[in-house]
Amino acid sequence: MMDKTAIRLVVFKDGDHYIAQALEVDIAAQGDTPEEASRRLGIALNAEARDAKAEGRNLLDLGPAPETVRVLYEDRVVSREQKMVA
């Protein structure tokens, strides 16, 4: 069984698109809807986690999102979520 890591994410509108940004790692994805952006971020997070594991690293080695993104999590967001990634 794989260990899972909880990753918080924030989704916000940027022009005509939505951006989903992870907080614990600096990875983001874009979509036409909040749901699409969140789904795409989940895919990106899982791909990065697989690559990190294959290279003997931890996903969290990528480092956190910038402070400005973490402020969005507390402030003006479309949605807040948490995803479990392998």
pLDDT digits (tens, 9 = 90+) for 20-40: 999 999 999 999 999 999 999
pLDDT class for 17, splitting at 50, 70, 90?
very high
Any domain includes 2: no
Any domain includes 77: yes
The structural domain count of the chain equals 1
Q: With CA atoms as reference, report the closest residue to 46 among 4, 18, 11, 10.
A: 4
Any domain includes 3: no
66-83: pLDDT as tens digits: 998 888 877 765 566 667
40-73: pLDDT as tens digits: 999 999 999 999 999 999 999 999 999 988 888 7
Instruction: Give the range of the structural domain holding residue 56, as residue numbers without chain letter.
Output: 12-81
Rounded distance, CA 22 to CA 55, Å? 21
